[in-house]
């Protein structure tokens, strides 16, 4: 018998990280382009990975496990949406970026699934044309070789039972993998790092907001947003 996905009780306290605080971290940053010394993926790389995923996919619609920005920017058409739990993985700000939400001078941190624990998210179906929408997803999630955020078939549990869904997990052997960082250190980075896609604080804020809309609360992210709010308050206080 399948165990039901637990119901998340509503929050009583509002987020400490507000839109006003997030706005303080935002500034115009010009995209500096490809990071020197990095090897960027080619059209052939994307086609190869896309075809490998399609060849190994289970029968039926191709499912995607979304746990962060894919909840609001899926980079390709998806449909449906069902609460799901991936056991053995958890959300973590665990790899560095020098572009997108950071710069060479002030690298940022991005989130991936890292080993251990469990992660509540949403399962969507990648819509037709599947190959084109899947490749759009890959182009958004992967830019540099070797990739730090890699696609993997995950076993996830929904109200309807177990299924396999595509998720993006961190490669701990990658040089950009930051490992398990102290929450205060993560908060300090998210409160100050910004790139042409926006700030780390914005990314955290939007992730929590969209998880909340799905009825999901991540205890670690909730603790982190309070620390980021404090860091922003200190960093942007004027005498």
What's the average pLDDT block by block, 10 residues per block, for the chain (239 residues)?
A: 46 86 96 89 98 97 97 91 97 96 96 97 97 97 95 96 97 96 97 97 97 95 98 77
For residues 166 and 154, the answer to whether their CB atoms sit within 8 Å is yes
Please tell me the predicted confidence (pLDDT) of residue 74: 84
Please tell me the predicted confidence (pLDDT) of residue 7: 43
H or E, element range at 152: strand 149-158
Question: In the chain, where are the structural domains located?
Answer: 35-234
What span, in angstroms and rounded, lies between the C-alpha atoms of 8 and 28?
Answer: 37
Please tell me the predicted confidence (pLDDT) of residue 12: 58
CATH classification for the domain delimited by 35-234, as one of 3.40.309.10, 3.40.50.720, 3.30.450.20, 3.10.490.10: 3.10.490.10
Please tell me the predicted confidence (pLDDT) of residue 236: 72
| 141 is known as an active-site residue | yes
What span, in angstroms and rounded, lies between the C-alpha atoms of 24 and 29?
Answer: 14
What span, in angstroms and rounded, lies between the C-alpha atoms of 31 and 195?
Answer: 7
Q: What's the predicted TM-score (pTM) here?
A: 0.91
For residues 171 and 146, the answer to whether their CB atoms sit within 8 Å is yes
In this structure, how many other beta carbons lie within 10 angstroms of the beta carbon of residue 41? Answer: 16
Exactly one of 19, 77, 141, 202 is catalytic; name it.
Answer: 141
Region at 91 (left for phi over 0; alpha for psi -120 to 50; beta for the rest) = beta
| Selection from 71, 93, 34, 75 nearest residue 209 by Cα | 71
Helices 219-235 and 183-192 meet at what angle, rounded to 10?
A: 50
Please tell me the predicted confidence (pLDDT) of residue 1: 41
For residues 232 and 21, the answer to whether their CB atoms sit within 8 Å is yes
């Amino acid at each position: 018998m399948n165990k039901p996905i637990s119901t998340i009780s509503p929050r009583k306290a509002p987020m400490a990280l507000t839109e006003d605080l997030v706005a303080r971290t935002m500034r115009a940053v010009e995209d500096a382009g490809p990071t020197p010394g990095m090897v960027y993926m080619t059209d052939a790389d994307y086609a190869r990975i896309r075809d490998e995923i399609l060849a190994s996919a289970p029968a039926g619609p191709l499912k995607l496990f979304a746990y962060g920005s894919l909840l609001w920017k899926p980079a390709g058409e998806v449909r449906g949406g069902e609460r799901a739990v991936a056991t053995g993985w958890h959300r973590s700000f665990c790899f560095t970026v020098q572009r997108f939400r950071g710069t060479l001078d002030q690298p940022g941190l991005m989130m991936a699934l890292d080993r251990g624990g469990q992660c509540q998210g949403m399962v969507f179906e990648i819509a037709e044309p599947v190959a084109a929408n899947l490749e759009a997803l890959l182009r958004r999630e992967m830019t540099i070789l070797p990739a730090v955020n890699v696609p993997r078939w995950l076993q996830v549990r929904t109200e309807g039972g177990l299924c396999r869904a595509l998720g993006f997990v961190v490669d701990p052997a990658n040089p950009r993998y930051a490992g398990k960082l102290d929450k205060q250190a993560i908060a300090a980075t998210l409160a100050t790092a910004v790139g042409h896609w926006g700030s780390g604080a914005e990314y955290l804020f939007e992730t929590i907001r969209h998880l909340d809309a799905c009825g999901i609360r991540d205890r670690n992210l909730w603790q982190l947003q309070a620390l980021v709010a404090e860091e922003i308050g200190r960093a942007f206080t004027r005498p």
